[in-house]
Copies of this chain bind each other. A is one copy, B any other.
Amino acid sequence: MTMNLKQLSESLGLSPTTVSRALNGYPEVSEQTRLRVMRAARDADYRPDPRAKGLATGRALAIGHVLPTSVRTEIVNPVFADFLSGAGDVYASAGYDMILRMVANTEEEATYDALAKRRAVDGVIVHAPRVDEPRIDQLLRLGLPFVVHGQCQRAQEDYPWVDTNNRRAFEAATERLIALGHHRIALLNGDERMDFARRRRAGHLDALSAAGLTQDDSLLFNAEMTEAYGYETARSLLESAAPPTAFLTSALTTAFGVRRAADELGLRLGEHIALITHDDDLSYLSNGRPGAPVFAATRSSVRAAGRLAAELLMDIIAHPGSAPRTHMLEAEQLDGPSLCPGPHHAP
């Protein structure tokens, strides 16, 4: 039904080899022949069979993303989705496919083994690294090219990664809250088994001590970023004897929970409570007042991270053996609506 290389070459009176070389940009083909071949290929709408190509070359022309059940909730995370979206664009323009595998937690290791063994993919992106991330050693051992979205606790030069500067973003956010007069700031952090959450906490604490503020451990929380987490934590804090005047958190859902708690207690955001989030649609949280900028990993910057990671991976695949490169992206400073004119009437 569809034209193959042999038929194309016959129609041109050339050998399949020559046509293949012309199409793949080999230098030993005369410019005239190449042009003739390219034209014919375009006219016939010829498309090489990726399987045959893969069989012959050993390459898969595909990048894998493995999602074990434990981080399956990640898939509904807009950060994850935007990252994929950015990476997908790069794959598409490089002629690679993106393959997603949903696996049980117990099968994750075997999946990487299988992907590497059968060369089902040319490389993988590792998502949601934990503090001590075993997949990195596995992938290094397998020799399967990879890029990690996020860092973990090991020498930074050991492996390629792309990350947002979480430490700095939370440090800067805390500095801003302090500058606005807040002394008691609650941190509603993510699950601290994840490395990014550790870094965020570190940034927050750094800013506190730099300002000479004592850190109150009873204001530090970490859990999966649900709405209920934000609501319950904020509610109980706000009703306690020594409530915070500001909340620092990252996910929109959790921020919503904080907002709901404040609403129910008759507090208005921007009057009694301040929020800083790394999400970008800040209008959700404000009372529409103009004011202080917030720091954000916006949707577009997350897409950029996805693009960067994909490009880095393509590069690793094209030039194997080179020293691991890394990319640290600084969170954008957004001039969103004010979330915090400062602590008035702290209850």
Chain B hits for A89, CB < 8 A: 102
The smallest C-beta distance from A283 to any residue of chain B, in angstroms, reads 6
Contact B76 A101 (CB under 8 A): no
A103 & B114 in contact (Cβ 8 Å cutoff): no
Compute how far the CA of A237 lies from the CA of B119 in the bound complex, rounded to whole angstroms.
58
> Which residues of B sit under 8 angstroms from A99, Cβ to Cβ?
62, 97-100
Query: Contact partner of A85 among B54, B102, B117, B287, CB < 8 A?
Result: B102
Q: Contact: A55 with B47, CB < 8 Å? A: no
Q: Is A284 in contact with chain B by the CB < 8 A criterion?
A: yes
Q: How many A residues have CB within 8 A of the partner chain?
A: 51
The A contact surface, by secondary structure, is helix
CB < 8 Å neighbour of A49 from B103, B118, B228, B264: B118
What residues on B are CB-neighbors of A1 within 8 Å?
Answer: 117
Q: Write out, one digit per residue, whether chain A residues 97-126 have a CB within 8 A of any chain B CB (1) or not (0).
A: 111111100000000001001111000000
A218 at the interface (CB under 8 A from B): no
**In the complex, A32 has a CB within 8 A of chain B:** no
- B residues in contact with A100, CB < 8 Å: 84, 88, 98-100
> Which B residues are in CB contact (< 8 Å) with A103?
92
Could you say which residues of chain B place their CB within 8 Å of the CB of A55? Answer: 49, 51-52, 55
Given A1-B117, A49-B118, list of 6 further CB < 8 A pairs? A2-B117, A49-B55, A98-B99, A98-B101, A228-B281, A256-B284
- Interface pairs A-B: 10 shortest CB-CB: A88-B102, A76-B78, A76-B81, A75-B81, A51-B54, A2-B117, A51-B51, A98-B100, A51-B55, A97-B99
